[in-house]
Structure 1
Amino acid sequence: MRKTDHLGGITAFVATAQHGSFTAAAERLGLTKSAVAKSVGRLEARLGVELFLRSTRRLSLTPDGERFLASSQSAIEILEQAEAELTSHIAEPSGRLRIDLPAAFGRQRILPHLLRTLRQYPELSMTVTFSERFVDPIEEGVDLVVRIGELADSSGLIGRRLTTQKLVICASPDYLQRSGVPAETADMSHHQCIVGLRRNEPKIWLLKNSLGQVTRFTPPATHEFADGDAMLAAVLAGCGLSQLPLWLVGKYLAGGELVEVLSGHAGGEMPVSALWPKSRQLLPKIRFMVDTLVKAAEEGLLD
């Protein structure tokens, strides 16, 4: 058997272990489910061990599989690093870049820069997903992640601050006419509030007083939405108060469709950052895209 077949089997095995099924691995690798399963089967036959325990519902790694996965991931990282060093002189990005973005911010602020890049560099391909949950780039095979909020410590990732989101609390004139205008933060406990829904994360608003001190306020979660555009739609529909980024609601405030409340507590900010695995820090396509987003942020195009 050729050595390239060996490498193909290892790649199929790692993708299957990371994604939990032959189907998901096939989608990640651009192959058929049958091809991935056969490739892993040939690898097991060559090694003389079972790497997966197979059932009708799921795959799980055997002890041998867990040990081999750790070694295989290290080997793949070494190969990626070698490729990055070899191609670091290439000026134009190429290959497939996998990016995961927060939904509303990603569509409105990041996606236009990605599309402009695709038009400019035809050798570059992208797989773009949108989610609000935490995405582990290493485990899920994503090259670059953009996230809003403070970053959890992770020794396997590199982060770069792009910009900050300035936050305001607002509501529709119709809602305020029906429910009254809150004069202080304690009044919000008597209001309907629209909050973001993120798994295993507290629902808090950042309030900033005249002295510049920031406090964390837990609003009553009357309505929960896992998408910024949906939250905006609910506020415009008169469903309650919400704290939203100024880039999202600015034009509605200017047009009178929304009204800012508790302006004395405005000014809270949330960081927006790009994250990527340390093992891929030298890949030209990642470096190019991070530089593109940093430049856009410096020019105020992400605000």
Structure 2
Amino acid sequence: MVDRLNGISVFLGAADAGSFARASEQLGLTRSAVGKTIARLEERLSVRLFNRTTRAQSLTEEGQTFYECCQRIVAELDAVEAMLSGGGRSPTGVLRVSAPVLLGRLCVAPVLVGLTRQHSLMELDLRFADQLVDLVEERIDLAVRIGPLPDRAGLTASRLGAFDMKVCAAPAYIAARGRPSDLDDLSGHDCLPYARRGGRAEPWRFATKDGAVTELSVGGRIRLDDLEAIAEAAINGAGLACLPAWLVDSQLQSGRLVSVLDDHRALGNSVYAVWSQTAHVPSKVRVTIDELRRCMPVRLARPSEAP
């Protein structure tokens, strides 16, 4: 098979060059090697491919037919190689993506659904899970992760953006309890911390003016392990919440929640796309990463303004 393909490339080179001498220069072969390759090809096909005289060289009728067929074959090979190596313009096949539940539903899904409308040969299998998944075992092409990547071995990562948190409360709560103006005021308020499994409340993190990070352990009678439940509790006037901007953007826009402590930047996390290390990134994965890089920064900040 390799010899047959080599023979085709030499034949195409000789036909395009117009002479064996010029073909040998362009292909980096001796004139004798070009002639012998064409002779073996003609013997195998049992046809003459070139009309040769001392002054000119041209394709025979059979040679012209063979030339056109070989051009199509090489073009198809080039297209397949480009597609498999990630260079194809039309990604195909099933794209399997894993993303955290809320971030995936509110920020990732709209981007990927839109991407499938742009590429009609792509299919999307989007799975929501807050726990880390094994990309190889679960046959996941791409995962979106929040925060540090504890399992980076064997993975490639690309940062998609970062999000801040918003300290907010319902207008009714602010009217009844007052608006905190400084971080020290939080101790006098009911707060709604996020509690991981085991009941441990996550501290609220703020950037200081000198670039450092301060962590505050906030208290309250209510601890929840679900961000949507915290947002709903805040909307119902249960206290102050510190939630991702992408989660509460619509509630802030509608006035159901009011942002407080705007002079203090509440810190969130970076968001990454991760995929298995490979020499060649499939086209469907490459275009998805590019689209997430383009769209996620806006969605992480203000989903209501995202295209």
TM interval, shorter chain, is 0.5 to 0.7
Query: Of 132, 135, 143, which residue of structure 2 is paired with 1:134?
Result: 132
Match of 2:89 in 1: 91
Give SS of 1:140's match: coil
TM-score by length of 1: 0.62
1:51-200 mapped onto 2 (5 Å cutoff): 87-88=84-85, 89-152=87-150, 154-199=152-197
| CA contact 1:209–1:264 (8 Å) conserved in 2 | no
**Mapped partners of 1:195, 1:110: distance in 2:** 25
**Mapped partners of 2:283, 2:185: distance in 1:** 52
1:286 aligns with 2:301: no
Q: What residue identity is the alignment partner of 2:133?
A: V
Give SS of 2:295's match: helix
Match of 1:62 in 2: none
CA apart distance, 1:233: 2.0
| CA contact 1:84–1:283 (8 Å) conserved in 2 | no
1:131-280 mapped onto 2 (5 Å cutoff): 131-152=129-150, 154-199=152-197, 203-220=202-219, 222-226=222-226, 228-279=227-278
CA apart distance, 1:179: 4.0
Q: What residue identity is the alignment partner of 2:106?
A: Q
CA apart distance, 1:161: 0.6
**Mapped partners of 2:126, 2:259: distance in 1:** 34
**Mapped partners of 1:90, 1:264: distance in 2:** 47
TM-score by length of 2: 0.61
**Compared with structure 1, are the counterparts of its residues 123 and 199 closer, same or farther at alpha carbon in structure 2 (3 Å cutoff)?**
farther
CA apart distance, 1:84: 8.6
**Compared with structure 1, are the counterparts of its residues 301 and 246 closer, same or farther at alpha carbon in structure 2 (3 Å cutoff)?**
closer
| CA contact 1:165–1:270 (8 Å) conserved in 2 | yes
| CA contact 2:205–2:214 (8 Å) conserved in 1 | yes
CA apart distance, 1:205: 2.0
**Mapped partners of 1:102, 1:198: distance in 2:** 15
Q: What residue identity is the alignment partner of 1:161?
A: R
**Mapped partners of 2:162, 2:204: distance in 1:** 15
**Mapped partners of 2:244, 2:82: distance in 1:** 39
Partner deviation per Cα, 1:220-243 (whole Å, 9 max, x = no partner): 3722133x4333222212222111
* Aligned length, in residue pairs: 219
Q: What residue identity is the alignment partner of 1:87?
A: L
| CA contact 2:245–2:300 (8 Å) conserved in 1 | no
CA apart distance, 1:160: 0.6
Larger Rg: 2
Q: What residue identity is the alignment partner of 1:240?
A: G
Partner deviation per Cα, 1:27-85 (whole Å, 9 max, x = no partner): xxxxxxxxxxxxxxxxxxxxxxxxxxxxxxxxxxxxxxxxxxxxxxxxxxxxxxxx998
CA apart distance, 1:246: 2.3
**Compared with structure 1, are the counterparts of its residues 237 and 202 closer, same or farther at alpha carbon in structure 2 (3 Å cutoff)?**
closer
Seq. identity, %: 32
**Mapped partners of 1:270, 1:169: distance in 2:** 15
In the alignment, structure 1 segments of 5+ residues that lack a partner are 1-82
Match of 2:26 in 1: none
**Compared with structure 1, are the counterparts of its residues 90 and 198 closer, same or farther at alpha carbon in structure 2 (3 Å cutoff)?**
farther
In the alignment, structure 2 segments of 5+ residues that lack a partner are 1-79, 302-307
Give SS of 1:290's match: helix
Give SS of 1:162's match: strand
Give SS of 2:263's match: helix
| CA contact 1:149–1:271 (8 Å) conserved in 2 | yes
**Mapped partners of 1:217, 1:137: distance in 2:** 35
Q: What residue identity is the alignment partner of 2:175?
A: Q
Partner deviation per Cα, 1:91-142 (whole Å, 9 max, x = no partner): 2111111111122222222211211122222321221111222233234332
**Mapped partners of 2:187, 2:243: distance in 1:** 18
| CA contact 1:210–1:264 (8 Å) conserved in 2 | no
